[in-house]
Structure 1
Amino acid sequence: MQIETATHGDLLEVTPKGRLDSNSAPALEKVLLERIDAGQSKLTIDFGSVDYISSAGLRVLLMAAKRTGAAKGRFSMHSLSPEIREVFEISGFLTILKVYPDLNAALAAQ
């Protein structure tokens, strides 16, 4: 899995690419925790290039959302494919995490 980051004002966009599973989730967790611990409290995850997510990936997202919330920040996701969106629906994550159709919508919500 590749992980790219981009800054849009005070919002950090993290773009994982590939499968987000038990093998790759620790790498995403490391990137997110390093940024959150460094004071980055507004994050959005671009799921446009993620083709699979497991429970390990969901756990990382939930942990990052809790940490940013504790820091009075914001955590969101955008550009979910129909397959990834279905996983979030089934797991109940769509009711607890902010999801936007694209980056522009995530930026507008800041």
Structure 2
Amino acid sequence: MKLAITSQQKMDGVYIITPVGRLDTNTYPAMEERVDLILHEKPHTLVFDMEQLNYISSMGVRVIAKAQKAMKPYYGKVVLLNLQPQIQKVFDIIKALPAQQVFSSMNELDDYLDRMQRQVTR
């Protein structure tokens, strides 16, 4: 199965990447390329909306980990959204991301982003 990837800028500094299909050894280069393009914009938040991702391999996890590492110098965050149970299981097993960076819906993510922005503007 192939991987389709869409991305959009939700607001200033916030990008959403939506993979559809399988993120595995054969498809990770396309995801890595898309992430690298977005990272050149120096986003403060990079959201992976995983609602339509049905499989992730270690190479897919590597792409996300690489994005986290790239954003660390300028205090950017990587968040995961709408994880399917099998994808959540992968991250639970490897404990790749803290629980506060995984969101169950777009509304929950928006609430989080609003809180983060309010902290900056105070």
Instruction: Report the TM-score when normalising by structure 1.
Output: 0.91
Q: Report the alpha carbon displacement of residue 95 of structure 1 after superposing the two structures with TM.
A: 3.2
What is the alpha-carbon distance in structure 1 between the residues aligned to residue 109 and residue 43 of structure 2? 16
1:76 maps to 79
The superposition leaves residues 24-53 of structure 1 with CA deviations (integer Å, 9 ceiling, x where unpaired) of 111111111111123223210000000000
SS of equivalent residue, structure 2 residue 61: helix
Q: Please report how far the alpha carbon of residue 96 of structure 1 lies from its aligned counterpart in structure 2 after TM superposition.
A: 7.4
- The one-letter amino acid paired with 2:26 is N
How many percent identity over aligned positions?
A: 30
Q: Is 1:38 matched with 2:41? A: yes
Cα distance in 2 between the residues matched to 1:6 and 1:34: 12
The 5-angstrom pairing of residues 4-15 of structure 1 reads 4-10=6-12, 11-15=14-18
Cα distance in 2 for residues equivalent to 1:3 and 1:45 = 10
CA distance in 1, matches of 2:105, 2:97: 15
CA RMSD of aligned residues (A): 1.5
Residue 69 of structure 2: aligned partner:
66
Q: Distance in 2 between matches of 1:87 and 1:106?
A: 21
Structure 2 letter corresponding to 1:90: I
Name the structure 1 match of 2:118.
none
CA distance in 2, matches of 1:56, 1:76: 18
Q: Which has the higher contact order (CA 8 A, sep 6+)?
A: 1
Structure 1: 4+ residue segments shifted above 2 A = 38-41, 94-97
Higher Rg: 2
Q: Is the 8 A contact 1:3 1:15 kept in 2?
A: yes
For 1:100, the equivalent position in structure 2 comes to: 103
Query: What residue identity is the alignment partner of 2:8?
Result: A
